[in-house]
């Protein structure tokens, strides 16, 4: 599978899981993974998913506009930039978002998000 197809498949899986059942994201994290959200560090797959499921909205729908991918590093890593719209249940207008996924053999910078009208947060996941 070429890198663009792999990136698109991952993005589709990540956001469809996030939208339908955030707890299902647990398989994308490991015990060594770390999430930093608004300055608070959370480590471990279960703790990270607990943080994601505690976000102030319960239902949402991501609409992906772009998925751009490029190789990163000699170990076959990838940098993936995603942008789109986030529709929250009960809200009339969608929010704009962008997210960066960076994967290499030694670490994964999983999320750098900006949701319009929501706090900006950075999430670093380290394996």
Task: Say if residues 101 and 109 touch (Cβ distance below 8 Å).
Answer: yes
Residue 11: strand, helix, or coil? helix
Strands of 60-72's sheet, edge to edge?
60-72, 77-88, 95-103, 108-115, 121-125
Residue 85 pLDDT: 95
What is the rounded distance in angstroms from the CA atom of residue 97 to the CA atom of residue 29? Answer: 22
For residue 24, what pLDDT is reported? 94
Instruction: Give dist(CA 49, CA 40) in Å, integer.
Output: 14
**pLDDT per position in the chain (127 positions), as tens?**
788 888 999 999 999 999 999 999 998 887 877 777 777 888 888 998 999 999 999 999 999 999 999 988 777 788 889 999 999 999 999 999 887 777 754 344 444 444 443 333 334 333 2
């Amino acid at each position: 599978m070429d890198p663009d197809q792999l990136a698109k498949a991952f993005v589709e899986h990540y956001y469809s899981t996030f939208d339908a059942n955030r707890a299902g994201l647990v398989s994308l994290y490991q015990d060594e993974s770390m999430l930093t959200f608004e300055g608070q560090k959370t480590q471990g797959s279960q703790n990270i998913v607990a943080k994601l499921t505690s976000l102030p909205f319960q239902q949402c729908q991501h609409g992906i506009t772009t998925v751009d991918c490029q190789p990163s590093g000699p170990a076959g890593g990838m940098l993936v930039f995603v942008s789109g719209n986030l529709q929250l249940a009960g809200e009339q207008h969608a929010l704009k978002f962008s997210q960066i996924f960076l994967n290499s053999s030694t670490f994964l910078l999983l999320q750098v998000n900006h949701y319009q009208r929501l706090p900006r947060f950075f999430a670093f996941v380290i394996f």
